[in-house]
């Protein structure tokens, strides 16, 4: 899968759950892998047909200046949603590092991957044999689920006895 990447984007952000972290912004380092939203850009050479990484950088900086996050997980989810929803990426990987979070130069971080929801036009072909999936499958195969007319009714199974 083709991707655009930004590595080492350093941003001052309001992040943290501890009292000493709530008084000022802290630096975070962000690495992004962004799926290319289609193949048109390879023929057109137009930045409008792909993800503009300068616009991504600007948008992320604006969001992190505007919103206070408690956890890196929340911040990474917010960034992933921006890339999927606003920039039309089919998938993203967001890695955020909080340098010096534990002192002594120790870095901590989070990395998530997200995919855009399938389009509304994409449809799954209906199952032909109407076999249910999930915990009710055992009821179906026991013969207690199907009325014989193609409709289903829930008939509870008798309690099972456990030998003592």
Q: Which residues are catalytic?
A: 98
Give the distance, in angstroms, between the CA of residue 126 and the centroid of all CA atoms in the same chain: 27
**Residue 146 exposed, middle or buried by CB count within 10 Å (0-12, 13-18, 19+):** middle
* Among candidate residues 123, 108, 115, 105, the one with its CA nearest the CA of residue 34: 115
């Amino acid at each position: 899968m083709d991707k655009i990447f930004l590595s080492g984007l350093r941003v001052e952000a309001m992040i943290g759950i501890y009292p000493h972290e709530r008084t000022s912004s802290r630096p975070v380092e962000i690495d992004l892998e962004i799926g290319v939203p289609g193949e048109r850009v390879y023929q057109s050479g137009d930045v409008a047909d792909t993800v503009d990484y300068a616009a991504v950088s600007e948008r992320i900086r604006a969001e992190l200046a505007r919103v206070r996050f408690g956890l890196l997980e929340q911040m990474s989810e917010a960034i992933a949603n921006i890339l999927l929803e606003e920039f039309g990426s089919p998938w993203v990987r967001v890695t955020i590092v909080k340098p010096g979070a534990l002192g002594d130069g120790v870095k901590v971080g989070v990395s998530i991957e997200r995919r855009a929801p399938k389009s509304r036009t994409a449809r799954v072909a209906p199952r032909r044999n109407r076999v249910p999936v999930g915990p009710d499958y055992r009821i179906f195969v026991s013969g207690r689920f199907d009325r014989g007319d193609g409709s289903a009714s829930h008939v509870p199974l008798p309690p099972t006895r456990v030998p003592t």
